[in-house]
């Protein structure tokens, strides 16, 4: 490639040699990006322990400590040296190692499969943007469910120029494996980018172990047909599983060593998993069959280069705070407590729907078993009209989707005591809009 930086060419050579699939999947920008080890960063690193270090763009006091404002520093219960200087573009090394260890703990089926060290992003959204930057060219197809997080439009549509191909998420009460399989097959093998998000936003659906097995089998079949597939896994709501029999691991576990033609790209973070929405710490991790440290290092370098060229590095205090929190005695119990609170609300939603068969006159739930949300399919009334009525007459807000005439209800954000009332309001607003007050 004429004009491509020599450091990018070196990374490309490594990647092409060790994983032709990954090379074929990289976008033009992905092929061109590199982590600039030889410029300012290298010279800064070379001067790190020298008597005089006049290299870096961080002000230090005469005592050698970061020149912070005490009125700001005193508000952070963390060593200023772990908060005020820049974090590395790839993220704090101890945090990356810890998150990798946690991925392994939470996904035991990974076994001995080598995976990359996670690169830290500024929240999961930024991780998704990085995946788009590295693997999607203008006009590339991205295959995703017809129920998806709205922001994918901006991340993959507006920013990358990707073309969306939807598969139907549901057929009756379960995952539409036929629609998914059909989207993966084509006459001639080609590059494919697939995006899966379980637990799903907006539906609150996650597959059972059995269905997860079918999804993985469909991807394997497509890979065996010669398709080269980047599977982007948006695991934002990982861990919030509320029903027996669900696949409690990320599909990353199963895809990591599945086939040389599959590159699994896991996006996760502390946003929902660790109840830290505004701290903005996400991670991007890679795995492919026979992936080696050398391959992953090259991919990590490219990803860190894309971080360097966009946000430079993610928020340092947030990374340090989370790492410290992991060491606290109460951490596990606190996390279990929050999950339990959401699960109790989930159960209350289920119970409320079961207690009110009359609701079926106007709405029914789509399958839901996990995450933050559930969806209602409205009949004989228009979702936008009912939505307006709910706001105006019942002081109640939900998300309305014209497409499919759906409501998304966030039980994770609704106090337990208001859940029955919420559904009562939805029912009444439907009655109002239908002009139907017989029941």
Residues that bind ligand PLP (CB under 6 A): 123-125, 149, 197, 201, 234, 236, 269, 271, 277, 282
Query: Is 61 exposed, middle or buried (CB count within 10 Å of its CB: 0-12, 13-18, 19+)?
Result: exposed
Closer by beta carbon to ligand PLP, 280 or else 302 = 280
Closer by beta carbon to ligand PLP, 124 or else 160 = 124
Closer by beta carbon to ligand PLP, 15 or else 124 = 124
Element (H, E) at 324: helix 316-326
Q: How far apart are CA 378 and CA 390, in angstroms?
A: 14
The answer to whether 305 touches 353, Cβ cutoff 8 Å, is no
CB of 269 to ligand PLP, least distance (A): 5
The answer to whether 117 touches 97, Cβ cutoff 8 Å, is yes
Closer by beta carbon to ligand PLP, 44 or else 157 = 157
Is residue 247 classed as helix, strand or coil in its secondary structure? coil
Q: How far apart are CA 160 and CA 126, in angstroms?
A: 13
Closer by beta carbon to ligand PLP, 22 or else 203 = 203
Q: Provide the token pair at 122.
A: 């500024």
Closer by beta carbon to ligand PLP, 56 or else 399 = 399
Task: Report the relative pairing of strands 191-196 and 141-145 from DSSP bridges.
Answer: parallel
Q: Provide the token pair at 106.
A: 């939470």
Residue whose entry in the numeric block shows the structure tokens 């991790």: 285
CB of 240 to ligand PLP, least distance (A): 11
CB of 197 to ligand PLP, least distance (A): 5
CB of 365 to ligand PLP, least distance (A): 19
CB of 196 to ligand PLP, least distance (A): 10
Closer by beta carbon to ligand PLP, 236 or else 253 = 236
CA angle 227, 152, 373 (to 5 degrees): 110
Closer by beta carbon to ligand PLP, 123 or else 257 = 123
CB of 154 to ligand PLP, least distance (A): 12
CB of 310 to ligand PLP, least distance (A): 14
CB of 251 to ligand PLP, least distance (A): 14
CB of 425 to ligand PLP, least distance (A): 24
Closer by beta carbon to ligand PLP, 315 or else 386 = 315
CB of 238 to ligand PLP, least distance (A): 11
Cα(first)–Cα(last) distance of the chain, in Å? Answer: 71
CB of 236 to ligand PLP, least distance (A): 4
- Annotate 59-114 with three-state secondary structure: CECCCCCECCCHHHHCCCCCCHHHCCCCCCCCCCHHHHHHHHHHHHHHCHHHCCCC
The total of other beta-carbon atoms located within 10 Å of residue 186's CB is 14
Q: With left for phi above 0 and alpha for psi between -120 and 50, is residue 373 left, alpha or beta?
A: beta
Closer by beta carbon to ligand PLP, 91 or else 269 = 269
Task: Report the relative pairing of strands 363-365 and 373-378 from DSSP bridges.
Answer: antiparallel
Closer by beta carbon to ligand PLP, 16 or else 399 = 399
Nearest C-alpha neighbor of 214 from the set 169, 181, 256: 181
Q: How far apart are CA 144 and CA 202, in angstroms?
A: 13
The total of other beta-carbon atoms located within 10 Å of residue 329's CB is 7
């Amino acid at each position: 490639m004429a004009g491509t930086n020599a450091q990018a060419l070196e990374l490309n050579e490594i990647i092409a040699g060790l994983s032709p699939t990954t090379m074929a999947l990289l976008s033009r920008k992905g092929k061109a990006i590199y982590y600039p080890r030889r410029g300012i960063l290298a010279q800064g690193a070379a001067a790190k322990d020298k008597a005089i270090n006049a290299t870096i763009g961080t002000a230090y006091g005469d005592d050698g400590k970061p020149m912070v404002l005490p009125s700001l520093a005193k508000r952070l219960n963390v060593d200023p040296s772990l908060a005020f200087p820049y974090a590395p573009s790839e993220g704090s090394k101890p945090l990356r190692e810890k998150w990798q260890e946690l991925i392994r703990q939470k996904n035991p089926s990974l076994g001995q499969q080598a995976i990359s060290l996670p690169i830290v992003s500024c929240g999961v959204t930024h991780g998704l943007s990085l995946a788009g930057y590295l693997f999607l060219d203008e006009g590339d197809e991205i295959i995703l469910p017809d129920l998806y997080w709205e922001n994918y439009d901006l991340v993959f549509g507006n920013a990358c120029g990707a073309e969306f191909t939807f598969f139907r998420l549901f057929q009756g009460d379960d995952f539409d494996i036929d629609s998914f399989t059909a989207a993966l097959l084509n006459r001639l093998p080609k590059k494919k980018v697939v995006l899966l998000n379980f637990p799903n936003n907006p539906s609150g659906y996650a597959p059972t172990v059995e269905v997860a097995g079918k999804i993985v089998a469909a991807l394997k079949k497509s890979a065996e047909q010669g398709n080269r597939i980047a599977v982007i896994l948006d695991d934002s709501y990982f861990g919030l599983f509320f029903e027996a029999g669900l696949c409690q691991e990320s599909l990353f576990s199963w895809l990591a060593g599945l086939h040389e033609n599959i590159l699994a790209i896991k996006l996760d973070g502390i946003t929902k998993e660790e109840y830290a929405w505004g701290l903005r710490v996400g991670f991007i991790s890679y795995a492919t069959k026979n992936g080696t440290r050398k391959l992953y290092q090259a991919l990590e370098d490219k990803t860190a280069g894309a971080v360097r060229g966009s946000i430079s590095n993610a928020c340092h205090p947030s990374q340090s705070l989370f790492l410290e929190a992991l060491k606290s005695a109460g951490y596990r119990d606190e996390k279990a407590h929050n999950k339990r609170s959401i699960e109790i609300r989930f159960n209350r939603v289920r119970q409320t729907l079961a207690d009110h068969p009359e609701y079926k006159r106007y709405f029914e739930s789509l399958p839901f078993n996990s995450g933050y949300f559930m969806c209602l399919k409205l009949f004989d009334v228009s979702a936008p009209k009912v939505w307006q009525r709910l706001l105006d007459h019942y002081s109640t807000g939900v998300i309305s989707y014209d497409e499919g005439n759906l409501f998304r209800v966030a039980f994770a954000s609704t106090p337990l005591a208001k859940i029955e009332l919420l559904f009562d309001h939805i029912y009444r607003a439907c009655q109002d809009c239908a002009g139907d007050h017989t029941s």
